[in-house]
Amino acid sequence: MKFVPTLVALAAAAASFAVHATEFKSSDVHNSDDYPTVTAVRFMSEQLKQASGGKHSIKVFNKGALGTEKETIDQVKIGALDMTRVNISPMNSVCAKTNIPVLPFLFRSVEHLHKVLDGPIGEEIAKDCEAQGFIVLAYYDSGSRSIYSKKPVRTVADTKGMKIRVQQSDLWVAVAGAMGANPTPMPAGEVLTALRTGLVDAAENNYPSYGSGFRHFEVAKFYNKTEHSMAPEVLLFSKIVWDKLPKADQDMIRAAAKASVPFNRQAWAAYEKKEFDMVKAAGTEIIEVDKKSFQDVMVPVYDKFANTPDLKRMVKAVQDTK
């Protein structure tokens, strides 16, 4: 009988350790194991493991193993998944202030983007998301997005009637609509087939996604440098899971995420250059577009999505950031 309390005590200790020692699950849709968001979260895991004395770590499930970006957002919301890395665009219908960094032609440069997201505007967006059940841990680089297609695009007139795949976001539908195109929202994993079958004529994304990420360059041979958005990636943690963690663990996770941001930015710059060189060598034609023709038609997008005094204030604050 002496063994009973001992076994009970061991079971209790094991249960206590299980509560406090965790391998958090994180999702990513990108196929490449060396994609900068995938490697950034793995770097974050190493930082967290070191800070916690091996108690906590993060396992990254990339290649869409846990679902589309929209599906993983829903899972994080209800606490069924700890973390997800998504482009900020699918969050537009969840947190209104996430529309701001997606607005077309808003950021002047990568440096301008970083300064905005590292400052009060980034914090304001994070607070808006927290109220909806998400802890924003980091903003990662996603480069500038351009339209790629089966025929060249040189001015906004060339996109009239073109079926363009966009992200599952009302804002992106409006951006393509303002160009005179027929927007077709769908998950990233379906785009290659849609391009091959003619369901869409074009899509829009950065060089790495166009390149080895989803291999869209195999079908759409023209990369038209509209550079219409620098919508960042965002790393989200479930507030339901977060609120159950001790403050010390929360602090370690935040510190590890913060350390992953410069890692991501450096990795992104190198990866983007490598992907640009690869698609050029594969025969992609890079088209310099009349960017002003695209900018001129975006007024209705701002009117619709920066449509409150608060959102207008945020747009101005971004534009005024030097």
Q: By CB neighbour count within 10 A (0-12 exposed, 13-18 middle, 19+ buried), where does 15 fall?
A: exposed
CATH for the stretch 23-142+231-276 = 3.40.190.170
Domains 23-142+231-276 and 145-230+285-320 share a fold: yes
Pick from 295, 60, 53: nearest CA to 178? 295
pLDDT of residue 20: 62
CATH T-level topology, domain 145-230+285-320: D-Maltodextrin-Binding Protein; domain 2 (3.40.190)
The structure's pTM equals 0.86
Give CA–CA dist 141/158, Å, rounded.
Answer: 29
Q: What is the pLDDT of residues 238-250, one digit of tens each?
A: 999 999 999 999 9
Residues of the chain scoring pLDDT < 70: 1-20
Give CA–CA dist 205/32, Å, rounded.
Answer: 16
Give CA–CA dist 78/67, Å, rounded.
Answer: 15
CA-based radius of gyration for the chain: 21
pLDDT of residue 9: 41
Tokens of 256: 């590890």
Tokens of 110: 């990568």
Q: What is the pLDDT of residues 186-245, one digit of tens each?
A: 998 899 999 999 999 999 999 999 999 899 999 999 999 999 999 999 999 999 999 999
Q: By CB neighbour count within 10 A (0-12 exposed, 13-18 middle, 19+ buried), where does 225 fall?
A: middle
Domain layout of the chain by residue ranges: 23-142+231-276, 145-230+285-320
CB of 89 within 8 A of CB of 183? no
